[in-house]
Amino acid sequence: MPYLPGMRRREFLIGGTALGSAMLAGAPALAQTVTLPFANGTRPVAAYPQKRPLIVMTTRPVQLETPMSIFNEGAFTPNDAFFVLWHLAGVPTDIDVNAFRISVHGLVSTPLQVSVADLKSSYDAIEVAAVCECSGNSRGFFNPRVPGGQWGNGAMGNALWKGVRLRDILTKAGIATGAVQVRFNGVDQPVLPATPDFMKSLDMDLAMSDNVIIAYSMNGADLPVLNGYPVRLIVPGYFATYWVKMLNDVEVLSEPDQNFWMKTAYRIPADPCGCQQPGSTVKTIPINRLTVRSFITSVTDGARVRAGALTVSGIAFDSGYGIQSVLFSSDGGTHWTPATLGKDYGKYSFRPWQARFTPQAGRQYTLASLAMNTIGEAQRLDNPVWNPGGYLRNTVETVRVSAS
């Protein structure tokens, strides 16, 4: 997007270049690595603009993973630690927020050009705490392995999103009869014209539901550019593929969307498990709701802990039915005890939990947590979900510790 006036752009670019060079000169940040526990899992750790040092999966387009230790800082994931995923390398890095418009068009009676100022002044503001989880979160743990973004468990985050109900904007535009879906497109572009532009669609009833919002604020601040500044779609309970970043185009459709990112990509097996056998072919549907998951965040795999009473903390979440209970095990899942749930920030949020046990010196423990939601959906204890997209993992995760 053009920068105006020209002098400002020039000044900023000079400053930006100097900053970039300084970051490179400060090589220690780039020299650090972490190794995720699967083949080819070694990654640089580096601080990108508006971000603290994160796990760098790819550099163009940029994809950054949140280290698990961040999730122990609180139920909300700080903006500067929130994971980053772009599909296409044409990611704008200069956004003129005053010129930015969301075009609302298609099967509507009054097409709209909505500015960010309009969003803030002309519509009711809504806040929702919601987990944003990449469809491919934990893909690196699939066995057999599958191609794609090789994430550990950190392609997720929880934020307090503030914005405007999509429904209010669509209602203002006036939905014509025959509308079946709403399609969302962002400013990002493919490098080649032949590459399908990244667009996602929601069915009409979901698009018009209470909690789907166009957010201009994340944890009380502007969204980082890499998380979609100035606005992104928030679809609580649904995988992040629908949370279109730098959203500037909303189109009401009369037919189900046939674009590549809906019809071919981001598909899961149609059966309720989302499972299939390697090498088999099954009927598929677009990926949709989050699975139930929980993680231990206060200790890392391989950690040494002190003998004596220990509090283990973690997080749990589901697709919005709400977490009913979390069970904790210190013996790899043979025996379970109820964990204590922490503050409830809303049914789409991370739910903190804590459990206590007493490790004895010289012994090793395999810690595990198992969450269940209010409709009885639980994490899988064994027989992990497998599908060729590497989606929907929700196996009980374990953390091995030794006490001394």
Partner 1 sequence: MKKSIVLGLLAFASVALAGIAVTRADPASSITLPPPNMMLKDGPNAALAQAKCVICHSADYIYIQPPLTKAQWTAEVTKMQKTYGAPIADADIPPLVDYLMSQNGKQS
Dihedral sign, Cα of residue 215, residue 220, residue 224, residue 225: positive
Q: Which residue number, 78 or 346, has a Cβ lying nearer to partner 1?
A: 78
Sheet holding 323-329, edge to edge: 303-305, 398-403, 364-373, 323-329, 337-338
Q: Which two tokens stand for residue 349?
A: 């949020």
94 binds partner 1 (CB under 8 A): yes
> Rule CB under 8 A: is residue 344 a binding residue for partner 1?
no
Q: How far is CA 276 from CA 133, 140, 189, 280, in A?
A: 22, 17, 33, 7
Of the candidate spans 54-62, 209-217, 241-249, 312-320, the one that interacts with partner 1 by CB under 8 A turns out to be: 54-62
Which amino acid is residue 226, in one-letter code? L
d(CA 292, CA 133): 12
The two tokens of residue 379 are 């994490």
Distance (Å, whole) CA 114 – CA 173: 10
CB of 117 to partner 1, least distance (A): 13
Nearer to partner 1, 55 or 253 (CB): 55
Shortest CB 101 distance to partner 1, Å: 15
Q: Which of 270, 251, 236 is nearest to 197 (CA)?
A: 251
The CA distance from 393 to 386, in Å, is: 8
Verify binding: residue 196, partner 1, rule CB under 8 A.
Answer: yes
Establish if 145 lies at the interface with partner 1 (CB under 8 A): yes
What is the DSSP code string of 279-339? T----EEE--BPPPEEEE-SS-TTEEE-SS-EEEEEEEE-SSS-EEEEEEESBTTSS-EEP
Residue 294, both tokens? 């929980």
- x/- mask, partner 1, residues 151-190, rule CB under 8 A, reads ---------------------------------------x
Site for partner 1 in 203-222 (CB under 8 A): 222
CB of 314 to partner 1, least distance (A): 27
**Closer by beta carbon to partner 1, 260 or else 336:** 260
SS3 308: coil
32 in contact with partner 1 (CB under 8 A):
no
Q: Does 28 bind partner 1 (CB under 8 A)?
A: no
The answer to whether residue 8 forms part of the interface with partner 1 (CB under 8 A) is yes
Nearest CB to partner 1, comparing residues 56 and 126: 56
Stretch 227-266: interaction string toward partner 1, x if CB under 8 A: --xx-----------------------------x---x--
59: its two tokens: 């550099």
Report helix, strand or coil for 55: strand
Q: How many CA atoms lie within 13 A of 370 on its CB side?
A: 20
Give the range of 85-93, 157-165, 280-288, 302-310 binding partner 1 by CB under 8 A: 85-93
Query: Which H/E stretch holds residue 16?
Result: helix 6-25
Which of 140, 352 has the CB closer to partner 1? 140
For 289, half-sphere exposure in the C-beta direction (CA atoms, 13 angstrom radius) is 15
CB of 194 to partner 1, least distance (A): 2
Among positions 2, 193, 362, 376, the unique one binding partner 1 when judged by CB under 8 A: 193
> Closer to partner 1 at the Cβ: 21 or 171?
21
Please report whether residue 383 would count as binding partner 1 according to CB under 8 A: no
Pick from 290, 358, 363, 283: nearest CA to 322? 290
Q: Is 3 in the site for partner 1 (CB under 8 A)?
A: yes
Are the C-beta atoms of 206 and 192 separated by less than 8 Å? no
Q: Kindly state whether residue 384 participates in binding partner 1, applying the rule CB under 8 A.
A: no
d(Cα 63, Cα 51) in Å, to the nearest integer? Answer: 12
- Comparison of 31 and 176: residue with beta carbon closer to partner 1: 31
Tokens of 86: 């772009």
Check binding of 328 to partner 1 (CB under 8 A): no
Q: How far is the CB of 37 from partner 1 (least distance, A)?
A: 13
Closest C-alpha to 367, from 392, 404, 334: 334
Q: Is residue 337 at the binding interface for partner 1, with CB under 8 A as the rule?
A: no
Q: Which residues bind partner 1 (CB under 8 A)?
A: 3, 7-9, 11-13, 15-17, 19-20, 23-24, 30, 38-40, 43, 46, 48-50, 56-62, 88-89, 93-97, 140, 145-147, 149-150, 190-196, 222, 225-226, 229-230, 260, 264
